[in-house]
Amino acid sequence: MRLILVGPPGAGKGTQAAKLIERLHVPHLSTGDMLREAVKQGTELGRKAEGFMKAGGLVTDDLVIPIVVERLQQADCAQGFILDGFPRTRPQAEALAQALTSANVALDAVVVIEVPDELIVERITGRRQDPVTHTIYHTKFNPPPADVAARVVQRSDDTEEACRARLKKYHGETAPIIPFYDAQGLLRRVDGVGDPQDITQRTFQALGLA
């Protein structure tokens, strides 16, 4: 099964991706990993991407998309894949669709995990990390044990200001890919509120895996 996983920051995409990988036995792919691997392999695309990465800039779509498509055509993706965190914009989605068609690779579904903004803010701003063990806790959903509570810290990207900025970026740039895939009949909406096991069950049902 060839899937794209979409959702706002803090929606639980990582948790659901892990469950899908366990069920489907397909690779979980992120553009960051693909870019680093292309650089490591010294491919022509990788060498071009490395120039942007060393300069601290974003790798342009005309380089990212061929790297993604090249990766999706490798042997371990023959039975499917889960593409997470890409595409991030409508132009990327459109360009990826054209490239996949040319490569004769067809998507099976695009899963969007939907969670209200205020719950996202509650999830993210409540996160705390133990600087010693790097364990992540949550003030409401998974409080730290008494013996470590005094030392846990809130990461800088987990503040409300940072969270709302990421949500604004998601709604402005990434959310427009949802109607694009909906129009193609690929979209599968999943309610991302509740117990993670229930969300997994909903995800499986949306994909006909339950």
DSSP string, 118-166: HHHHHHHHTEEE-TTT--EEETTTBPPPTTTTTT-B--GGGSHHHHHHH
User: Reduced to 3 states, what is the DSSP secondary structure of residue 85?
Assistant: coil
What torsion do the CA atoms of 18, 82, 13, 186 make, to the nearest 10 degrees?
A: -140
Point out the residues that are catalytic.
Answer: 13, 88, 127, 155, 166
The Cβ of residue 114 has, within 10 Å, a number of other Cβ atoms equal to: 14
Beta-strand ranges (E) seen in the chain are: 2-6, 28-30, 81-84, 109-114, 127-129, 136-138, 187-191
